[in-house]
Amino acid sequence: MFRAFIIIISIASCSVDDAATKSESADVSSTETSKPKEISPPKVDENQQAAKPNKPQTEWSLADLSFDNGMKWKANIETSQAIESMDDAMDVFLLTEEHTLKEYNEFAALLQIKYQTIFNVCTMRGAGHDELDKMLVKVNFYLEKMASEDIDEVKKGCDQLHKQLHLYNVYFE
């Protein structure tokens, strides 16, 4: 919804700018015939997604997912349940704020088992499957960080994994 609003605003501002540019061009071209025409920005088809702004990606960034022409990707129920199981386990684990390194590492091992379940039950194909793969690559990265011996890295991995799992319901149904 927010993306669609941004696209509409962008198109409207381009149309206003384009009209002003044409008016200025007409005035200038009557005095300067050798000046090249200005190229107006391309129109965005409502079925296309607007280009995402380039933001720096780091290894800690969340997966850069996209929608299926503005809609959520269709996932099989078993895949959704497996991811929801990981997310629910994260929610329960994070109810207690302080954990030892050993507790984080043991929890990471439990999540790794749940993570493997996704591959056993997923029947998705095509572009939706590719989007899920982008997400799962990041999930695996954060799980590896949670198994680290550096408590700061473990906590950051846990935090990012929690955010990444919550994004599943934003992009998939």
Q: What is the pLDDT of residues 83-111, one digit of tens each?
A: 999 999 999 999 987 899 999 999 999 99
CA atoms within 13 A on the CB side of 149: 0
The SS3 assignment for 73 reads: strand
- 43, 115: one domain: no
Is residue 114, in this structure, part of any structural domain at all? yes
User: What is the identity of the amino acid at 150?
Assistant: D
Read off the DSSP letter of residue 27: H
Instruction: Provide the pLDDT for residue 57.
Output: 58
d(CA 19, CA 8): 17
- 152, 87: one domain: yes
Is residue 134, in this structure, part of any structural domain at all? yes
How many independent structural domains does the chain possess? 2
Structure tokens at 49: 């997604």
Only one residue has tokens 């381009």, namely: 14
- 24, 83: one domain: no
Is residue 129, in this structure, part of any structural domain at all? yes
Q: Give percent of the chain with pLDDT exceeding 90.
A: 60
Read off the DSSP letter of residue 34: T
User: Which of these ranges, 32-46, 79-93, 140-154, has the smallest mean pLDDT?
Assistant: 32-46
